[in-house]
Amino acid sequence: MTGRVVEIVPLEIADMELLSALASEVTRVFSLPCRVGAAERLPASALDEKRGQYHATRILEHLSASGRTSFRLLGVTVVDIFTPILRYVFGEAMLGGKVGLVSIYRLGIASLPDERPGGRSIFVSRVLKEGIHELGHTFDLTHCEDPTCVMAASLDMTHIDAKSTQLCYYCRVMLGDKLEDT
């Protein structure tokens, strides 16, 4: 396992408590060391001024070309992201690639302020689930039919809230096979 480190790349996000919680969860789920790396600015080329959103794929390409040598990279950002076929996404990853991305923008910042009972813990739980989910895609894990598996598709908040931070048995086996092969 030497050298197989997952690096979380903060993209204009300063919530170190949140990023540290995500790093701990990544280590727990994937049995790989995870660290929070140096922050980076978002690439200006990823901003779609007409939409007021950032193109997720362009951010992934930027991270992929960043020269970082970690085993896997997970970008975390506060901005609203999209893909050409979807109005917005919670995250995106290169299936079987090295890079994933999660945005906290739609995961509850406005709808779950810290003052609401449980607001912060619900928000953190959503970020952990989506971060694990996108990182799972980098290990060739596709969307799972088990609605409680962290790899289940997340179409809205109800889907995110219904799933756990755990991989189901099938996805754990698939991850184990993938880790043995790399």
Task: Calculate mean pLDDT across residues 68-72.
Answer: 95
More confident residue, 145 or 1: 145
| Per-residue pLDDT reduced to its tens digit, 147-180 | 999 999 998 888 999 999 999 999 999 999 999 9
Task: Calculate mean pLDDT across residues 37-64.
Answer: 96
| Per-residue pLDDT reduced to its tens digit, 98-151 | 999 999 999 975 555 555 666 788 899 999 999 999 999 999 999 999 999 999
DSSP assignment string, 25-74: HHHHHH-S-EEE---BPPPGGGEETTTTEEEHHHHHHHHHTS----SEEE
The pLDDT score that the predictor gives to residue 99 is 98
Q: Taking the CA atoms of the chain, what radius of gyration do you get in angstroms?
A: 15
DSSP assignment string, 105-155: TTTTTTTS-TTSTTHHHHHHHHHHHHHHHHHHHHTT---BS-TTSTTB--S
Which of 25, 134, 145, 180 is the catalytic position? Answer: 134
pLDDT class for 48, splitting at 50, 70, 90?
A: very high
Decide if 134 is catalytic: yes
The H or E element containing residue 76 is strand 72-77
The pLDDT score that the predictor gives to residue 1 is 40
The pLDDT score that the predictor gives to residue 116 is 60
Query: What domains can be seen in the chain, in order of their start residue?
Result: 6-136 (3.40.390.10)
